[in-house]
Amino acid sequence: MEDFEKSALTEDEFAAKLSPTSLQVTGASLIEFWYSDGEMFWGHGVGLTSFNALALTDVHVEIFG
């Protein structure tokens, strides 16, 4: 076995690998954004939930799948 580690991505490289897959708006304050991960996390989905709409200061981020 040989250890393997990918090099760290810059912020721009990380953002370029994310592709939006869905958007869900519930009521006046709950917004969910889902992205494919560009194989950064072995094909899992990446989700961001904002509990105060587009202010995006009260958020939860998760990897799913």
CA angle 33, 53, 58 (to 5 degrees): 85
Question: Model's pTM, two decimal places?
Answer: 0.75
- pLDDT: is 23 or 1 the higher one? 23
* pLDDT at residue 31, as a whole number: 97
* C-alpha distances out from residue 8 to 3, 11, 12, 14, 53, Å: 16, 9, 11, 9, 31
Return the half-sphere exposure (C-beta side, CA atoms, 13 A cut-off) of residue 10: 3
Report percent pLDDT > 90 for the chain: 75
* pLDDT at residue 29, as a whole number: 95
CA gyration radius for the chain? 14
Per residue in 25-39, pLDDT tens?
999 999 999 999 998
Domain boundaries, the chain: 18-64
